[in-house]
Amino acid sequence: MSDAEVVAAARAWIPDDPDAETRAELQAIVDEAVAGSGEAVADLHSRFDTRLAFGTAGLRGEIAAGPNRMNRVLVAQAAAGLAAYLVEQAAESGVTPSVVIGYDGRTNSQVFARDTAEVMAGAGVRAVLLPRLLPTPVLAFAVRHLKASAGVMVTASHNPARDNGYKVYLGGADEGSQIVPPADGLIAAHIDEVARGAVSDLPRSDDYEIAEESLVDAYVAATAAVAGHGTTRTAGADHGSGLRVVYTAMHGVGWQTASAVFAAAGLSVPVSVPEQQEPDPDFPTVSFPNPEEPGALDLAFALAREAGAQLVIANDPDADRLAIGIPDESSAEGFRRLSGNEVGMLLGWTAAELAAESGLDGALAASIVSSPALKAVADAHGLRFAETLTGFKWVSRVPGLLFGYEEALGYLVNPQTVRDKDGISAATFALALAQRLHAEGRTIADRLDEFTERFGAYASDQISIRVTDLDRISRIMAALRAEPPAHVGDAVVVRIDDLREGSATLPPSDVLRIVLDDGSRVMVRPSGTEPKLKIYIDAFDDGDTDAAARRAAAQSRADAVGAAMRVLTDAV
């Protein structure tokens, strides 16, 4: 758009925006632009030249006015578009479509959820709003529990404080998984059609339902059950007596539900980090509310040192991810966070043991950027292994799934109950394992050593290249394709798999897999939710030294490959 056109578009937006705050914000920018502010004009172009895309991650962005931001206009359009899709899909069956809607503690989450309920009800869709702010896994559970046609969760997960998002699930044959093609494209087309008209013209109704608390109780009971299977429990509810645990909700919505699950499971309820226990959309004690980020677990580690804890459990703000910390004398904090791959190895191994004890057949699954370690576990236990594209919308759909994970702290331990990553059920599973080990006089660190001794040492590294110029991501991917490296550091490139065209088992994706002659592997892909290029490195060592030395050797290989990839990408 020209400068004049973008100012006109902004002026047209203002009277259609139901939010007084974003109306006032935009009016002030328009006034500055008209007065000659180049910065204000540039801001309007950023907001109006394009539209926040609806895709397989739904919507996610900064809360502000304009079609390229998250706001009540975008949410109403998304709700109306999704409603049109659901009505269209239900037309042949003659059944009234239904949607269940959840929200977390972020800014405007409840407002966006109520807007969605009103627009859905106005479109003839049965709308059920969860009774209060709750974790994302409760919404994912509710889609299946209520046999809803779809689910909407208003959350931006672990994004920065000013962000919010809109995550969509489908029921029926999709069994409560997140949307994948072609559904995302069909929904997006309906949203685009809605966006051609005025939001104020959309029919709304307050004839929506509020779910009973019994739904939350059902989630708690179903999730507590994952602690009661086979090797994760010993006799008696106090089997982990003496294990001291610290928990943080990271200013999110996890504590109330997680503590209820732990108590229902007969597990020790952890000591909660008080500064981070209650929902706070400003996330005041962390610079970035993601347990993976440096410093995010500082308060939890400090409380763990004070309490003499042997385990730290962290959920992200919407509680769909899990981080684990264990004592480490070599660390300045006295604790270290296990990598997502280490937690995936441990939980996957326990799931495989349970399957063997129960005589179950099925599959373990991990995303393509996660460690190859889980395949070794599956092979050793006679289980199938499935590799999927990144995202639980793919992991959750693996036939016969017993356990699935992705290295970004996402784990699915109870696929018969929830078809998405669930940080609360994963925390329950991990806590039950830790308490069983404690009762046997062992620790999580001991279990990691046992894993290395049986399966070999797996190590990982990750590079995240955050950009302000999105074209740089395309340039790096194009350069790697146009001039494939023959070496990565001292390692020779054996082959490069370009997944743009997909494969026999994977849909097309903008991913490069670089296989090296020392057994290392590099995965390169653009992030689907942030302005980043992500590079994942995995290395392996199966020498005859002790577990610690083998892990150190594998990590040294991963570090060397990571350093070489930084040099390659910095040159573009």
Q: Exactly one of 98, 149, 157, 339 is catalytic; which is it?
A: 157
Q: Residue 324's beta-bridge partner residues?
A: 313
Q: Residue 516's beta-bridge partner residues?
A: 493
Q: Which of 167, 147, 247 is nearest to 420 (CA)?
A: 167
Q: At what angle do helices 136-145 and 423-439 cross, to 10 degrees?
A: 110
- Cβ atoms 69, 76 nearer than 8 A: no
Give the SS3 label for residue 64: coil
Tell how strand 126-129 and strand 98-103 pair up.
parallel
Whole-angstrom distance, CA of residue 309 vs CA of residue 454: 28
- Cβ atoms 158, 317 nearer than 8 A: yes
Active site residue 157: yes
Give the SS3 label for residue 114: helix
Q: How many CA atoms lie within 13 A of 515 on its CB side?
A: 8
Whole-angstrom distance, CA of residue 27 vs CA of residue 156: 26
Burial class (CB in 10 A: 0-12, 13-18, 19+), 390: buried
| Amino acid at site 183 | A
Whole-angstrom distance, CA of residue 113 vs CA of residue 285: 26
| Amino acid at site 493 | V
Whole-angstrom distance, CA of residue 322 vs CA of residue 252: 13
Give the SS3 label for residue 309: coil
Q: Give the residue carrying structure tokens 């995010």.
A: 296
- Cβ atoms 58, 165 nearer than 8 A: yes
Which residues belong to the active site? 157
